[in-house]
Structure 1
Amino acid sequence: MSAAWLARRLVQGAFAVLGVVVLVFALIRLVPGDVVTQLIGLEGNVSAAQQAEMRRLFGLDDPLPVQFGLWFADLVRGDLGTSLRTGREVFGDLMLRFPVTFELALLALLIALAIGVPLGVVAALRRGRAADLASSAFVLVGLAAPEFWLAILLILLFSLKLGVLPPNGYVPLSDGLWPNVRSMLLPALALSLSLAAALTRIVRSSMLEVLGLDYIRTARAKGTPERRVVYRHAMRNALIPVVTVVGLQVGNLLGGAVIVEQIFGLPGIGRYALEGINLRDYPVVQGAVLWIAVSYVLVNVLVDVAYGLIDRRVVYA
C-alpha cells in the first residue's frame, strides 16, 4: 500500500463529502417554509416586515450561492455554524451527541456479527438441511423488514408485553454499564437485524466457495480434523469479504439510526438531524449530514486498508 494511493483515496472521499454537502444544502432549501415560519407558527402575530427582518438576521435573504459561500468559508475554518433556533454551536452539539450514535452503531454491529457469522457458517456446513432453510428464512425477513417496524415490534414484545427492557430513553454510561446497555439494547437490535441477515448471506456463500477449493480438499485428504479445516483454514479466507460488507454497512447503520433514535428517544446525531429538518434549522442539518458523510468515508478508507492487511494478495497501487 502506497502513500500515493492513500492520498488519492482521501481526495476522492473529500470530493464525495463535498457532493453530499452541496446536495443537502440545496435539497433542504427546497422544502417549503424556513426556520422563521417554524418559529412564529401558523398563528403567529408577526408582520411581514418583522419576518423579513428575521430572515435578514439569519442570513436567509441572501442568494443561495452567497449563503453557501459564507457557510463553506466558515467550514474551511472549522466552524459548522450555530443553530438558528437555539444559538448553540453545531459542532459542540455534535460532539455531545456523537457518543450516543457511535455506541448504538457499535452495539448493533457487534450483535449483527454475533448472529450473522455463526449462522452463515452453520448454513454453509449444512447446505440444503433444516439449518440452511432456517437461515434463508431469517435472511428474507431481515432484509425485508424495515428498522422502524422492527423497533415497534420489539417495544411491544420486550417492553409492553414482557416488561424486561425500557421502551425509550437513554441512560449514559456514567450511570452504570448495565443501565446503559438496557437502554440501548432494543434500538441496537432493531438496527442490527438487516445487517445480520446480509452477513449471514455473505458468509454462507463465501464459505461454500472456500470449502470447494483445492487446498481444503488437500487438508481433508491429509486427515486434518474437520473442525480445524473449517475454523482454521476455511473461515480465515471466507471472512475476508465480511470486512468489506461491514465497512459498507456502517453508512446504513448511521442512516438507519435517524429513525431508530427518534423512536427510542435517543439523543444522538440522527435525532438531532431529524429535529433540524423539522425545524428547517439549516446549519444543524448541514453539520449533521457532513459529520455522517465524513464518518462514512473514513470508515471505508480504514476498511480498504484493513482489507489489504488481511489479504496479502490485494495490492493498492
Structure 2
Amino acid sequence: MTQLLPAAGPEDPVTPGRSRRGTGAAWAMFVLRRLVSMAVTLVILVIATFAMVQLIPGDPARRIAGQEASAETVREIRTRLGLDRPVPEQFQAYVANLLQGDLGRSFVSNQPVGELIGQRVGASASLAGVCVIIVLVISLGAGIGLASLTYGHRRPWLESAFQWTSSLMGSVPSFLSATLLIFVFAVTLRALPVSGDNQGLVSYVLPCAALSIAPIAFLTRVVRLEALDVLAQDYMRTARGKRLVPRTFYLRHLLPNVLTTSLTVSGMMLAGLIGGAVVVENVFAWPGLGSALVKGVIVKDYPVVQGITIVLGVAVVTINAIVDVVLGLVDRRSVVTDS
C-alpha cells in the first residue's frame, strides 16, 4: 500500500514550483506501478487456482461418471474434459479459455460457470457493498468522535471501555457472530428473517451485522489512533486556536488526514471481508458466490471452484487498485511519495 508523508494542512501539498508536466509524470508512474502490481497478482492467482485443482486428490471424471460407471465411461469423460493431456497442455488450454472469458462448465449441472456466476454475483456484490458502507461510516464517525472525547487523556474510563469492547468485538469470528445473531433475533425474538434475500432490505440486517462487527471494531481503533495523532500536530493546534466552527475543524482539517489511512486499511481488510462472506452466505443461505463456492468444494465441482475463486480474486485486486487511486486523489502527496 502507499506510504504517506506526515499529515499536512488543507493547503495543496504539491510544491508550488512543480510543473503540471512533472505532476503528470508522477501520476503516470503511479498508475504504471499499480497496473504492473495487478498483472503480477493476477498471474499468481491464475497459477494458484489451476494448481489447486491439480493437487486435490481424487478423479473428477470418476466423480462425474459415478462409482458404478465402467472404466470406458470414465476414460471418455477424461478425454472430453482434457484431463488425459499433460499438465502443461491443460494449463495452456485453461489460460486460453480464461482470456476468452470461458470459465468452463460445471461438472455437476453442465451449466457454463460464467452463467452461474452471473446469476449469483449480484447478491454477493450487494451484500459486500452494504457492508463496506456500514463499516466505513460507523468506523469513521465512532473513531473521530472517540478521539475528540479522549484527546489529552481525558475520560480514561471511556478509553478503557472502548478498548475492552473493541477487543471483544474484534475477536469474535463472523460465523460465530452469525450464529448468535440468528439465535437472538431470528429464533428467540423472531424479529428478522433467518435466511435468503427475498424480504427486501430487512434481509440484509443479520448478514451485514455478522460481517461488519469485527471490521468495525478494528477500523474504529485505527481511526481513533490516527485522529489522536493528527490532533496533536502543530497545524491542528493552530486551527483549534482560530476557534473554527466544529464542522469546519473536523470535516476540513481532521477528516481528510484520517481518511487516507482509513481507506488504506479498508483495502487491506477487503480480502478478510470477502473470506468471511463465503462462510456467512452459507449460514444465512444467501444466494451468492460464497454459498456456490462451498457447494462446489463439497461436490468437487472444480470448474465452479476455479471460476468463483478467479472472480473473487479479481474483485479484490481491482478494488485495492481503486482504493490506491482514490488515495492519490484525496492526498496527492501519496502519488509524489510513491513515485
TM-score, scaled to structure 1: 0.90
CA deviation string 1:220-269 (max 9, x = no partner): 22333456433442222122211111222222222211111111111111
Deviation at 1:37, TM superposition (A): 4.2
Where does residue 220 of structure 2 map in the other structure? 200
Q: Name stretches of at least 5 consecutive residues in structure 2 with no aligned partner.
A: 1-25
Where does residue 148 of structure 2 map in the other structure? 125
Q: Secondary structure at the match of 2:194?
A: coil
CA contact (8 A) 1:28 1:277 kept: no
Q: Secondary structure at the match of 2:272?
A: helix
CA contact (8 A) 1:34 1:280 kept: no
Where does residue 259 of structure 2 map in the other structure? 239
1:257 paired with 2:272, answer no
CA distance in 2: counterparts of 1:4 and 1:136, whole angstroms: 41
Greater alpha carbon shift after TM alignment, 32-41 vs 61-70 = 32-41
Where does residue 16 of structure 2 map in the other structure? none
Where does residue 213 of structure 1 map in the other structure? 233
Q: 1:40 to 1:81 in 2, by over 3 A?
A: closer
CA contact (8 A) 1:124 1:132 kept: no
CA deviation string 1:168-191 (max 9, x = no partner): 1222xxxxxxx2212222111111
Name which of 114, 130, 135 aligns with 2:162: 135
The two structures, once aligned, show a CA RMSD in angstroms of 2.0
Where does residue 296 of structure 1 map in the other structure? 316
CA contact (8 A) 2:64 2:107 kept: no
Q: Matched residues, percent identical?
A: 37
Where does residue 68 of structure 1 map in the other structure? 91
Name which of 284, 289, 301 aligns with 1:281: 301
Name which of 125, 129, 132 aligns with 1:106: 129
CA distance in 1: counterparts of 2:319 and 2:112, whole angstroms: 25
Where does residue 76 of structure 2 map in the other structure? 53
Task: Supply the AA of the counterpart residue of 2:74.
Answer: Q
Deviation at 1:27, TM superposition (A): 2.1
CA distance in 1: counterparts of 2:49 and 2:238, whole angstroms: 55
CA contact (8 A) 2:123 2:287 kept: yes
CA distance in 2: counterparts of 1:282 and 1:188, whole angstroms: 29
Task: Supply the AA of the counterpart residue of 1:73.
Answer: A
Deviation at 1:82, TM superposition (A): 1.5
Q: 1:12 to 1:235 in 2, by over 3 A?
A: closer
Q: Name stretches of at least 5 consecutive residues in structure 1 with no aligned partner.
A: 172-178
1:27 paired with 2:47, answer no
Deviation at 1:39, TM superposition (A): 4.0
Q: 1:79 to 1:138 in 2, by over 3 A?
A: same
Q: 1:142 to 1:25 in 2, by over 3 A?
A: farther
Where does residue 189 of structure 1 map in the other structure? 209
Aligned length: 308
CA contact (8 A) 1:276 1:282 kept: yes
CA distance in 2: counterparts of 1:220 and 1:9, whole angstroms: 38
Deviation at 1:143, TM superposition (A): 2.2
CA deviation string 1:130-187 (max 9, x = no partner): 332232123212321111111101100110011111111222xxxxxxx221222211
Q: Secondary structure at the match of 1:126?
A: helix
CA distance in 2: counterparts of 1:7 and 1:121, whole angstroms: 34
CA distance in 2: counterparts of 1:20 and 1:142, whole angstroms: 32
CA contact (8 A) 2:49 2:310 kept: no
Where does residue 115 of structure 2 map in the other structure? 92
Where does residue 146 of structure 1 map in the other structure? 173
Task: Supply the AA of the counterpart residue of 1:31.
Answer: I
Deviation at 1:307, TM superposition (A): 0.6
Task: Supply the AA of the counterpart residue of 2:179.
Answer: I
Where does residue 17 of structure 1 map in the other structure? 42
CA deviation string 1:182-227 (max 9, x = no partner): 2222111111112111210111111100010001111222333456
Greater alpha carbon shift after TM alignment, 82-91 vs 202-211 = 82-91
Where does residue 160 of structure 1 map in the other structure? 187
Q: 1:114 to 1:135 in 2, by over 3 A?
A: farther
Task: Supply the AA of the counterpart residue of 2:277.
Answer: A
Q: 1:133 to 1:37 in 2, by over 3 A?
A: farther
Greater alpha carbon shift after TM alignment, 271-280 vs 195-204 = 271-280
CA contact (8 A) 1:111 1:189 kept: no
Task: Supply the AA of the counterpart residue of 1:189.
Answer: A
